[in-house]
Structure 1
């Protein structure tokens, strides 16, 4: 049975990446010996652009294949990891080409295989990798454990941050509830004050009315008394 076209493209991309790495190493040798590197730099730029395009095509092909469910999820995840490794290598090659860090002597590595790991080809996928001091001497399993510890530490920090944010949210809700209760109390007081003020105005009007009536009654009593006195005087014998 013929090999999967996606895996064939992946193998070709791996070989292109190795070719770019070897050309960069050769370019660096020429620079150290004072040779003319203009031609090889031009070739490298074209190769790096082609490498970028090939990786984009691999991503698009994987998206179509996984969307149509022509491969199982575990195989889709494995191919995504292969693409991620290619993207990392592309960044390293671009940085090396621009002189951001030096490239070691080209060596054959079995960190990742092309067709053999991907589906049956015997070709290997050699890389030129600058290993960090933190991972030197560590096995793949130890490196994976180290990454896992870092991820767990980050997760713990995110959990702590989430807990703080959750507490602040609860405090904010409590403050909001307290403000609502205080506003209700203020509204009740305002309503009570308005009712009391209305009653005071009503009572004031009643008092004034009583005072007016009282004054009128007093004058009437005086007039009556005067009339009685006049009558008494008039009928009283001299």
Structure 2
């Protein structure tokens, strides 16, 4: 399977998508074939086409499996990702193994001879159900992650609200402290002004007494 390595896109995922697309094409060909008489040329042509596609499908599934093992050995993917990809390949491999056995693919490559294809639509639907179940598991895990993120976000929001309340209380306390300082400052100034006036009167009285004493002498 030839691919162009586009930056930012994992080639393995691209190959996997292409393999699933090939699977859908085989299913479509099989569905069309079931509507044709077995002795007809259309039936024979569809059977030959299905056989060729099935060989390609089996080969590409094996390539996917090999690349997962190689990527894990080279540590280019994590163990969890390797395990997830291995499960995906196993689902594809189930259909490939069943097709190789029951589709009676011969080695003589006689594409003109009709094949007795034993794989039914129900087998294909079972494969699709496996794929859907795997996708559902992924969605469930994603929902759990989103739920945890939501809880963390709510906790952070509550903590921010609490901190805002503390800041508001501090601001109110600072305002009250400022008002108290202003009042105390005004009181000190008033008392200081009174102290200066009292000193003047004391000086005047002392001078008056001194004058009287001098006059008497």
Which structure has the highest helix share of the two? 2
Considering Cα pairs closer than 8 Å and 6+ residues apart, tell me whether 1 or 2 has the greater RCO: 1
Taking structure 1 as the reference length, what is the TM-score of the superposition?
0.45
Structure number with greater Rg is: 1
